[in-house]
Amino acid sequence: MQPTVRQLHLAFVGVLVGVGVLMAFSASMSSKPGVSSAGYIFRHLGCLALAIPAAAVASRITPETWRRIAPWAFFGTCLLLVLVLIPGIGARVNGARRWFRVGGFSLQPSELMKLVLPPYLAVVLEQQRALKRPFRSDVVRLLVPLGVVAVLSILEPDLGSAVLLLTTGGIVLWTGGWPLKRIAGAALLCSPSLLGLLFLKPYQRQRLTGFVDVWTAPERAPYQIKQSLLTLGVGGWFGEGLGKGWQKLSFLPEANTDFVFSVVGEEVGLVGTLGVVGAWLGVYLTGMRMLSTRHPRSLPAIVGFTWLTMLVSQAALNICVVTALAPPKGVSHPLLSYGGTSLLVSIVIVGAFVGMTRDESTEALDEGALPETSRSRAA
């Protein structure tokens, strides 16, 4: 019996998660003096033990349920983004205040926002179109929340998440039928949120531009980027072998998280990195095939396409960072990077995507069809 498209999609996801488990173990070996890699792999597996059941639950959530819970989830996550900035509540790590720490667990609200932002914007867009609200109403209900989320992310500072969330909002609007000229205008309206860049420290600004120095003035290039390229180069075609890489031994910063793709290159070589890229291509193509049976302006299609594109875009951005094609932004590699909120949210998004594509709803946003529950809230 031939596998279904959904089974192929989940198989590609499983390959990436499996590579992530191997790399979490390998890249974490001796990443801190006196720390056993066993602790890292157990935490990573523990996160997977939470993420997989959560994804199974998310796969059963229908679009109608998302219509009910999306606003609550969005504003609840916004509250967390505010609280994490307060000293004594949010934990400061490497100069950034992005996490809540409770015991041995951490929670990053900006990662949660990647899950809840697309359905919230899609639900609002659905209501706006069905009730034929004027454009200024779109600005208030769609663009203001998006700008606030971007500002809060930049203040952490987390420029990578801010860029991804703004891009996510643009994808929702474009998929929902906004013309490109209106999206361009929306981008201008949201641009004041980038004023948060003024609060970045000099070393943070240098990170935004220093990656160019790798190609023009290597002696001034950021250490992290130089080590990343060296790590990739050492691997050659077939790599040094699993667990045999040297750069992870405290030479390459964040080898188990943001720069785990470099460790893949060192230990499995160019063949391994191309395999990861191929798996992501498989995730995207099978995901698009799963969406092809949905009306392009329906809530499942809009939210599902946005989630899918966001995950693949984040992976592509991470690969660009480790290959010095983009500035370091603290963006992890979905499904591959070591544990934490990023892994949990990425896997839950996969489950929620499966749930969206399973639904048979075909109502379109531009046909004026507004479900009863959404109509009662919007009235």
Which pLDDT band, with edges at 50, 70 and 90, does 378 fall under? very low
Rounded distance between C-alpha atoms, residue 334 and residue 332, angstroms? 6
Question: Band of the pLDDT at 119, cuts 50, 70, 90?
Answer: very high
Q: Give me 300's structure tokens.
A: 């499942």
pTM: 0.87
State how far the Cα of 120 lies from the Cα of 125, in Å rounded to an integer.
Answer: 9
Q: Which stretch of 112-121, 218-227, 356-365 has the lowest confidence by average pLDDT?
A: 356-365
Average pLDDT, the chain: 82
What is the DSSP code (8-state) at residue 90? Answer: B
Least-confidence region, from 176-185, 230-239, 254-263:
176-185
| CB neighbourhood size of 50 (10 A) | 15
| Contact by Cβ (8 Å): 40, 21 | no
The more confidently predicted of residues 281 and 294 is: 281
Res. 174: pLDDT tops 60: yes
| Average pLDDT value for residue range 118-128 | 90
Which of 34-43, 111-120, 194-203, 343-352 bottoms out in mean pLDDT, i.e. has the lowest?
194-203
Distance of CA 253 to the CA centre of its chain: 21
- In the chain the first and final C-alpha atoms are separated, in Å, by 50
Enumerate the domain spans of the chain: 5-378
CB-count burial class (<10 Å; 0-12, 13-18, 19+) for 91: middle
pLDDT at 375: 45
Residue 197 has a pLDDT of 58
pLDDT in the model for residue 193: 55
Pairwise CA distance, residues 352 & 364, whole Å = 20
Q: In this predicted model, what pLDDT tens digit does every residue of 319-367 receive, in sequence order?
A: 999 998 888 777 889 999 887 889 999 999 999 999 998 855 444 544 4
Which is more confident, 88 or 310? Answer: 310
Confidence at 88, pLDDT banded by 50, 70, 90: confident
Burial of 379 (0-12, 13-18, 19+ CB in 10 A): exposed
Confidence of residue 208 (pLDDT cuts 50, 70, 90): low
Task: Give the CA dihedral 333, 339, 345, 350, nearest 10 degrees.
Answer: 70
